[in-house]
Amino acid sequence: MNVRMTKRALFGLAAASVAVAAMLLASCMTVNHLDRYDFEGSSLAMDMRTPPEPRLRIEYDIQMDSHSPVISALSVVTNLAKAGQAAKAREAMRAALMEVDVPEIVRAQTFSACAASLGAQQAASRRGADYVLSLRIDEWGIEARSPVAVVTLHMKLVASLYPAGVGRGASEDDLAWRREVTVDQPADPEMFGVGAILGNMVTATVLSEMTEEDLARGFRELGSLTARRVAMILERDLDRARFGN
């Protein structure tokens, strides 16, 4: 009897977990109720929730691989960790990244692109606005899986559109539109002023040799490119949702 009860309890727990997971997944799915509203000539305000701190996922450790001549040839970068340069490089990148307001760059680009797509005027505040475009950045930061892997700017965000009178607590049925976007934008050598290197790749090893000022300039360019990509994705999604193209 205890065994049966245990199995039944485990089955019930598993079923409940699946149900919760399904609910969470559904809450992140795209919503499209744009046909209920008329945005042409309306006023659109922007609301961005306080973003999290940037994450820096840079790996300087490298494993020897006898089957990979490239990895073996570049194994000298392990000296970074031995000399303590890896930790120093990470701190320089973190400090440089904190100087660049990437979320604000994304907010401005997204606001402009979405307002243009909807045919709405950008409002300076929510007061008196007809609609609100909400931006929630869940995670963002710089990533490189190894010293010789390309450096990317990772960002995951959710954009929502709703009537101004509804407020942040809008239910899914009250939303006019919602879209989740994940972007991993590779860095370009020209952003950091290093020219064509390693097949046009910017790696963690390359960045470890740069000054904080050069890093900040490169991250600003990378943030702008990421913002344009996010804005383009959202603008195209709005166009498809409204006109089916």
Closest CA to 242 of 31, 44, 34: 34
pLDDT band of 106, cuts 50, 70, 90: very high
Residues 20 and 64 placed together within one structural domain of the fold: no
Residues 115 and 236 placed together within one structural domain of the fold: yes
Residues 224 and 158 placed together within one structural domain of the fold: yes
Number of domains in the chain: 2
Q: Strands of the chain (E only): list them.
A: 31-32, 43-48, 55-58, 121-122, 131-144, 152-163, 177-186
pLDDT > 80? residue 83: no
pLDDT > 50? residue 43: yes
Residues 15 and 41 placed together within one structural domain of the fold: no
Give the mean pLDDT of the chain.
81
Residues 167 and 227 placed together within one structural domain of the fold: yes
Residues 9 and 52 placed together within one structural domain of the fold: no
Which domain does 9 fall in, by range?
A: 1-29
**Widest CA span of the chain, in angstroms?**
72
pLDDT of residue 59: 80
Q: Which amino acid is at 58?
A: I
Closest CA to 118 of 183, 180, 169, 177: 177
Residues 12 and 102 placed together within one structural domain of the fold: no
Q: Which amino acid is at 64?
A: M
Residues 129 and 18 placed together within one structural domain of the fold: no
pLDDT of residue 67: 60
In this predicted model, what pLDDT tens digit does every residue of 140-167 receive, in sequence order?
999 988 777 889 999 999 999 999 988 6
- Is-contact 131 176, C-beta < 8 A? yes
Residues 4 and 58 placed together within one structural domain of the fold: no
pLDDT of residue 9: 44
Residues 1 and 122 placed together within one structural domain of the fold: no
Distance CA 94, CA 124 (A): 32
pLDDT of residue 229: 96
Residues 141 and 194 placed together within one structural domain of the fold: yes
Residue 142, domain CATH: 3.30.160
Output the six-digit token pair for 6.
């245990």
Residues 138 and 77 placed together within one structural domain of the fold: yes
Output the six-digit token pair for 169.
């607590």
